[in-house]
Structure 1
Amino acid sequence: MGSVENIAVEVEPKTGVSFPVKLADGKQLNSVGLRKKSLLGVGLYADNEKLKELMRTKIGKAPAKPTKEMYQVVVDGDVGLTLRMVIVYGSLTMNMVKKNHEDCLGTSIKKLNGGRKDDELTNKVMGGASDAIKLSAGSVIEVTKSPGYVLQTKGKAIVMHYLVVVFHMKDEVVSTVENELLSRAYFHMYFGDDPVDKEAKENFGMSLLSLF
C-alpha cells in the first residue's frame, strides 16, 4: 500500500475517511463511497491508461452517460484495479468483515457462474485472515486485481486496547489467487446491477466517461 505522506487525498464526505488520489503502483483514485450494511469506507482505483485504451477499443465514442456495457468492460477486462476498504467506526472483528464480504462475493460469483455457488472460491479472498483479529477505525483492507486475473488481498490492522493503540500491523498479504471468475466476480460486486455501493459505482462511471 505504501506511504501516503505528501500525496493529495480525497475525503469521503459521509465518513471523513481520506483516500490518497494515487497509489504507490500508479493506480489513480476514480471513486469513493461507503459500503451498504457495513462500516467500511471504500476507494476504487484503476490503471487509467490501460482502462482508457480498453474503453476506446470496446466502446468507441463516449456515450451520454455511463452504460451497463461500460461497467461490464471493466468487470471483464484484464486491467489493473484496486479496492481499498477502511474501517470507519469502532471495532469490528475480522469474522464480521469476512462474513459480510463473503455473502456479497458469493452472490456475485453465483450470478457469473450460471447460478452455481462456489463456496471454496468465495472463501479464498479473505479466508486466510484470523477470525479473532479486531480491526479498529483506520484499519485498511486492500484487494488488487493484476493482469492475468490475479487477485491479491492485503491488510493493515490497527488494534486498540482500552482506547490506546497498542499494535499497528505492517501490510500483510492475506491471499493471492489467480482465477478469472473470482477476479471478475469481485469487481462485479461494485459494478454489477446490484452494487454493494451504488454511489461509488456512479462516481466510477463518471470517471470512465472522462477517459474518452
Structure 2
Amino acid sequence: MATTAEEVTNGKETNGGDQEEVAVEVEPKTGVSFPVKLDDGKQLNCVGVRKKSMLGLGIKIYGFGMYADNEKLEALLKSKIGKAPEKINKELYQLVIDSDVEMVIRLVIVFSSLTMSMVRKNFGEGLGASIKKLTGGKKNDELANKLMGEASDKIKLTPGSVIEISRLPGYVLETKVMGDVISKVESELLCRAIINLYLGDDPLDKDAKDKFGMSLISLF
C-alpha cells in the first residue's frame, strides 16, 4: 500500500539493537493508528470509522483497519479476473466477500460510553441485515448473534480497547476482545456477512471501501 501523508513511522527495537521501522497509518477522523503490517504478514488495505446516529448526531464509535493476506488475494484475483480492471467494480469486492482468504478487521474503540451489550446489539443488527441481503431476505438472527454471543457484559470497553474479528481458513470466524477469544464460529455465511458489512453495497464507511478497492487494483 502506498505511503500517504497520513502515515508516520515508529521506531522499534530489535534484538540486535538495530532500529526497525514499523509504519503506521492514522485514521484521520478518530486519530487511531494502525500498523501497516501485522506480525503474521497481513497487510493493511484500508482504515475507516464506524459512526452511529444518536440524538441526531453522528457519534464516532470505533476506528477500524482491514488487513488481508495480500499474496493470496492477488492469486485469487488474477485467477478469476486475469488482468487489472480499469476501475473498481462490484465483482472485485464480491470475490473478496465470498472468498476464504484470511482477513482481520481490527476495531479500536473511541466512544467512551460503549458497553459490551451495545456492541452485541449493534453487530447483531448489522450482521442480521447483511445476512438478509446475502440470502435474498432470509433472517438468521441466531447466526448473527453468534459473533459476540459469548462476550460477558462484565467486559469493560474503554477508549483504546481492541476487538479483532478474523476470517480463518475453512470459513471460521474468530472474535477476540482485548486479546481473549470470545467466539469461534465455522460458517461460510457469517464470514461473508461480516466482510459484506464493510465491502458490500451499503458499507459502514464508503471511503474505506473505496480505499480497499484501490488496494485490490494495485495487486494486479
Q: TM-score, normalised by structure 1?
A: 0.88
CA separation in 1, counterparts of 2:49 and 2:11? 23
- Aligned AA (2:35): P
Matched, 1:210 2:211: no
Shift of 1:114: 2.5
Q: Per-residue deviation at 1:112?
A: 1.1
Give SS of 2:114's match.
Answer: strand
Specify the alignment match of 2:61 in structure 1: 39
Tell me the residue number matched to 2:97. 75
1-structure distance, mates of 2:116, 2:206: 24
Moved over 4 A (4+): none
Match of 1:153 in 2: 175
Is 1:17 aligned to 2:32, yes or no?
A: yes
**Percent of aligned positions that are identical:** 64
The number of residues matched between the two structures is 195
Find the counterpart in structure 2 of residue 127 from structure 1: 149
Question: Residue 204 of structure 2 corresponds to which residue in structure 1?
Answer: 196
**Separation in 1, partners of 2:78, 2:28:** 32
Q: Is residue 95–residue 132 contact of structure 1 (8 Å, CA) maintained in 2?
A: no
In structure 2, how many angstroms separate the alpha carbons of the residues matched to 1:187 and 1:74?
Answer: 8
Structure 1, 179-188 or 33-42: larger mean CA deviation = 33-42
Indicate which of 70, 85, 89 corresponds to 2:111. 89
Give the corresponding residue for 1:181.
189
2:158 to 136, 139, 143: 136
Give the gaps of 5 or more residues in structure 1: 157-170
What SS does the corresponding residue of 1:144 show, helix, strand or coil?
A: strand
Structure 2: which 5+ runs fail to align? Answer: 1-9, 13-21, 53-59
For residue 212 of structure 2, what is the amino acid of its counterpart? F
Distance in 2 (alpha carbons) for counterparts of 1:198 and 1:5: 32
CA-to-aligned-CA distance 1:92-150 (integer Å, 9 cap, x gap)? 11111121121111100111122111111011111100124331110000000011101
Whole-angstrom distance in 2 between the partners of 1:148 and 1:82: 15
> d(CA) in 2 for partners of 1:185 and 1:90?
27
| Among candidates 117, 122, 134, match of residue 139 of structure 2 | 117
Residue 45 (structure 2) aligns with: 30
Whole-Å separation in 2 of the counterparts to 1:140 and 1:58: 34
Q: Are 2:123 and 2:145, in contact at CA under 8 Å, matched by a contact in 1?
A: no
Q: Name the Cα RMSD after superposition.
A: 1.4
Structure 1 residue identity aligned to 2:165? V
> Contact 1:46–1:82 (CA<8 Å) still a contact in 2?
yes
Tell me the distance in 2 between the aligned counterparts of 1:36 and 1:57. Answer: 36
* 1:66 maps to 2:81: no
1:5 is displaced (CA, Å) by: 7.8
Residues 75 and 184 in structure 1, CA contact (< 8 A), matched pair in contact too: yes
Q: For residue 213 of structure 2, give the secondary structure of its aligned residue in structure 1.
A: helix
Match of 1:64, as an amino acid? E
